[in-house]
Chain A
């Protein structure tokens, strides 16, 4: 059976205003999501992860590469032709208040997907809306209220209920917990897990938060400056990160006990996340990498299979020179070595 969603060497280049250099936001990324699987995509601002989400959702056209949904190439499908795919492929975004029309009542918000797809439920519509809202934990909602009258957590639940309305097979969730208070984040994480257990749907979850990704994902891909630099089964990648960039991300959030410990020291990367308009030669990470040497400055490391099955790393020095550090970071994060 083909993967449910497949991105094949997908690239997106944006032309800059005033004749500046073109910006390659996504530089030939391949990633697939199987049925019932959660793939987590992690990276910092400007790494291209949100552009990749928009490519997967067919909200922007790729410059190169193919997008395949359930075995059928849909790269250049638009408009009405996309409707049957959209029904099966839904989205949840970071800021629910921005993604829901503030002048539509909750009832209108929830009715919209049915209208868009010409699904007429008649008298069954109202109970269906109630059922969807109650499924995401919102009982007895006043359907006449407007989005700004709800809390952030309630709004994200409404956005999720709306995404579920047409019983999609996959949801692309772009930073679904990032705008929420910590106590609400845990609720939304639990809700996403609950929905998957009940419905068996797939997720492509995009976040800057490796803790959230590590908790919900079956497989993780780490993006840096438009490319995936490490990929693998979630448990292995979190316990033994092999790319120096993944290691820096993971070392920033070990257990509370480790952070409290005076002995713990994080890896601090020098410099800023780089500008996608100015991708360094060789390894794109080399200017911030403490291991960088000549080969890293001249030759771009391919994403290649290493160590355990399913693990891919784009680093000349992995795993030989990175495995020991990776192991230490994984232990500190789990609190096994108690730092």
Chain B
């Protein structure tokens, strides 16, 4: 396993109370796989990703263990962490403007990522920056290297951010909602680019999203998060062919709008996801769950093996009760 997360908890103090946004979750990511963390607002998916990258909000306290290539990343001296993360972990966000400095030419920013970690000298880093811009298919990379972020298009900024994340040849790429704010045609370009880069650079990818369509396209394994906990985790084909957790099934149904009869009601989950500090007792999904029974509001469902996957649910969707959503 290239990445092992054990008992990870991320919490905040609010009004003298300890609020746990990521509630003691564990998972492994294998080398070379595309591992998806899917969930909606408040599920803790982004906090989980940011904690792996060491970029959780200052107010958050993180506990548990995160080992990368056998080395513990949590509670280590900053300098050592920066070295590991700068070289080994690339990060891309939803908003490229948030990660690019507006008053610095694009090429210099990519080069800086390399010189700051002592990987390359300045001249070599500048050459590498142009090479990376070319690698992400930016036309005329020499010119773009000298441009400021506002001088290039949104699609190019997205590519430049990916070039920066991959400049130091990391083995792990964490992508937090990389396609969420993008237009349809740009999203299509980004998904093609990411899968090409993953293949050619042998990357391990942890991709955080709420878009089931993206999951269907790229996932090797899936972690479904709800209200800070793991609802379901396992092989992507197994989960997509037969989602067992009612929440996973509902998320998939909501992504199948193109197959619904026009103008007819969609299968919608009732209510909204609970906010931090308002997580329900027992199974946190129970107030919205069509399969909920008495025990669901009282007893926390433990995580357990279920067919080819693991889930936390007292009453999973039965193996023979549903037709496959995705053909084998």
Contact = CB atoms under 8 A, between A and B. Distances in A.
Contacts of B273: 151, 181, 183
Contact of B268 (A190, A215, A216, A266): A190
Contact of B259 (A183, A193, A252, A255): A255
A234 B262 contact: yes
Contacts of A256: 212-213, 216, 240, 252, 255-256, 325-326
B26 to A, nearest CB: 25
Interface string B28-54: 000000000000110000000000000
Interface in A228-284: 234-235, 248-249, 252-257, 259-260, 266-269, 271-273
B257 A215 contact: yes
A193 B265 CA distance: 8
Nearest to A261: B327
Contact of B258 (A151, A186, A334): A334
Contacts of A248: 184-185, 188
A212 B183 contact: no
Nearest to B250: A183
B128 to A, nearest CB: 25
A183 B263 contact: no
B40 A183 contact: yes
10 contacts: A153-B272, A182-B212, A182-B255, A183-B251, A183-B269, A189-B266, A215-B257, A216-B263, A253-B213, A273-B185
A3 interface: no
Interface string B224-264: 00000000000001001000000000111011111110111
Contacts of B254: 182-183, 185-186
B106 to A, nearest CB: 16
A272 B154 contact: yes
A65 interface: no
Contacts of B105: none
Contacts of A267: 188
Interface string B177-196: 00000011111110010000
Given A44-B184, A193-B263, A269-B189, 20 more contacts: A151-B272, A153-B272, A182-B40, A182-B255, A183-B268, A183-B273, A190-B265, A214-B262, A215-B263, A252-B188, A256-B325, A257-B216, A260-B237, A266-B188, A267-B188, A272-B154, A333-B258, A335-B258, A335-B259, A338-B327
B80 interface: no
Contact of A212 (B187, B210, B257): B257
A152 B240 CA distance: 28
A105 interface: no
Interface string A301-339: 000000000000000000000000000000001110010
A187 interface: yes
Contact residues of A: prevailing secondary structure = helix
B50 to A, nearest CB: 19
Contacts of A288: 185
Given A151-B272, A215-B266, A272 B155 contact: yes
Could you say which interface size class chain A belongs to? 35 or more
A211 interface: yes
Contacts of A272: 153-156, 186
Contacts of A338: 327
Contact of A273 (B183, B255, B258, B265): B183
Interface string B160-185: 00000000000000000000000111
A139 B273 CA distance: 18
Contact of A259 (B156, B217, B251, B270): B217
Contacts of B266: 186, 189-190, 215
Contacts of A212: 257
Interface of A: 44-45, 151-154, 181-187, 189-190, 193-194, 208, 210-212, 214-216, 234-235, 248-249, 252-257, 259-260, 266-269, 271-273, 288, 333-335, 338
Given A249-B184, A272-B156, A184 B272 contact: yes
Contacts, number: 136
Contacts of B211: 182
Contacts of B255: 182, 256
B262 A235 contact: yes
A310 B192 CA distance: 35
A212 B263 CA distance: 10
Contacts of A257: 216, 325-327
B18 interface: no
A259 B259 CA distance: 13
B175 to A, nearest CB: 17
A269 B213 CA distance: 19
A110 to B, nearest CB: 20
B252 A186 contact: no
Identify the interface centre among A189, A235, A333: most chain B CB within 10 Å of its CB. A189
Given A208-B183, A235-B262, A256-B212, A186 B257 contact: yes
B121 to A, nearest CB: 34
Given A154-B272, A193-B263, A214 B184 contact: no
A62 to B, nearest CB: 25
Given A183-B254, A334-B259, A249 B272 contact: no
A212 B155 CA distance: 24
B304 to A, nearest CB: 24
Contacts of B72: none
Contacts of B40: 181-183
B220 to A, nearest CB: 12
A271 B272 CA distance: 38
Q: Which 6 A-B pairs have the closest CB atoms?
A: A186-B268, A44-B183, A181-B40, A259-B216, A186-B266, A183-B269
B267 interface: yes
Given A256-B255, A259-B217, A215 B185 contact: no
Given A182-B210, A256-B325, A269 B185 contact: yes
Given A266-B188, A268-B192, A215 B183 contact: no
